[in-house]
Amino acid sequence: MAWGVEPDMMQAFHIDGSLRDNYVFEATEADWARLVEALRAQGAGYFRKGEKRPFPKDCTDLFRGDAQHLFRIDLNGIAVNCHAFTVGEIELDVAPDDVSTPAQASQVLAFMADIGEALGKPVVLTEENGRHHVWFRYDPVRALMTYGLDGRQVVWTGGY
Q: 54 and 47 in contact (C-beta within 8 Å)? A: no
Question: Could you read off the pLDDT of 19-42 as tens digits, one per residue?
Answer: 999 999 999 999 999 999 999 999
| Residue 63 main-chain phi, psi, to 5 deg | -115, 15
For 63, 126, 141, the CA distances from 75, given in Å and listed in that order, are 26, 18, 24
> Is residue 114 predicted with pLDDT exceeding 90?
yes
Q: What is the pLDDT of residue 159?
A: 63
Instruction: Please tell me the CATH code under which domain 7-57+66-154 is placed.
Output: 3.30.310
Which residue, 81, 92, 47, is CA-closest to 67?
47
Name the least confident of 19-23, 44-48, 107-111, 153-157: 153-157
Give this prediction's pTM: 0.93
Question: What are the sequence ranges of the domains in the chain?
Answer: 7-57+66-154
